[in-house]
Amino acid sequence: MRDPDSHWYGFSSRARVIVYNKVAVNPADVPTYESLADPRNKGRVCTRSGSHPYNLSLVAALIAHNGEARTEEWAKAVVANMARSPRGGDTDQIKAVAGGECAVALSNTYYYVRLLRSAKPEEREWAAKTGVVWPDQASYGTHVNIAGAGVLRNAPHRENAIKFLEYLASDPAQAYFANGNNEWPAVKGAVAKNPELESLGAFKADPLPVATLGKNTPAAQRLLDRAGWK
């Protein structure tokens, strides 16, 4: 959760999971990101834009694990399985799954937890009609995104910038990430008091360094463009 060369750090994390319709889908049928390309999911997949950083990061990870050629084949198959053209944010994907517009979708966990904690009954109902799969638990683990920060070389107030980063690693700020933003604290031992977040349970996270994802992102965008994932 850091780049040792440029000295920026992650301060919280969220996982990119598969959300499924509890009535229409057996979660055992979508155990991996790769399973979204399975012909059995023809016309059943919803997703946001391929140019969004969340999807670019995931595809960058798949390139690292499976190679560019195999990942492009996967992306083309996912596009062929889409229930509709990519649009909206992750909340829109969960809503579409709950409403039956599609059966499975990719989402970051904090969107799902936000619905679990919502004061709006209809949003809690979207969460109740859907479930979460931790992809690739039998292999490299579920993809993780981070919120991170660093100090620019030309920062005019370097000392204060460093103090701010130190604050982000403090107990109060780490508690905010968990309790206010529904993400996991980056600091080991930080106390989180978010029952809905904790209700998702433990999972095996992909240990790929975030710096690797950054290096693969340009290739990921070109790949998704070729695959027609708009």
Three-state SS across 157-194? CHHHHHHHHHHHCCHHHHHHHHHHCCCEECCCCCCCCC
On average, the pLDDT of the chain sits at: 96
In a domain? residue 131: yes
Cα separation, 26 vs 89, whole angstroms: 24
pTM of the predicted structure, to 2 decimals: 0.94
For range 200-211, the mean pLDDT: 94
pLDDT at 2: 82
pLDDT at 182: 96
State whether residue 218 is helix, strand or coil.
helix
Beta bridge partners of 45: 82, 104
In a domain? residue 172: no
In a domain? residue 153: no
In a domain? residue 176: no
Q: What is the pLDDT of residues 10-59, one digit of tens each?
A: 999 999 999 999 999 999 999 999 999 999 999 999 999 999 999 999 99
**Residue 4: pLDDT above 80?**
no
pLDDT at 7: 78
Cα separation, 118 vs 123, whole angstroms: 6
In a domain? residue 180: no
Residues 6+ apart with CB under 8 A from 60: 212, 213, 214, 215, 216, 217, 219, 220
Question: What separation in angstroms does the CA of 34 have from each of 71, 72, 143, 227?
Answer: 9, 11, 13, 15
**Residue 8: pLDDT above 90?**
no
In a domain? residue 175: no
**Structural domain of residue 42, as residue ranges?**
2-144+196-227
* Domain count of the fold of the chain: 1
Give 4's DSSP letter. T
* CATH number for position 22: 3.40.190.10
In a domain? residue 132: yes
Proportion of the chain above pLDDT 70, given as a percent: 100
In a domain? residue 161: no
pLDDT band at 3 (very low <50, low <70, confident <90, very high): confident
pLDDT at 192: 80
Q: Pick the more confident residue, 3 or 107.
A: 107
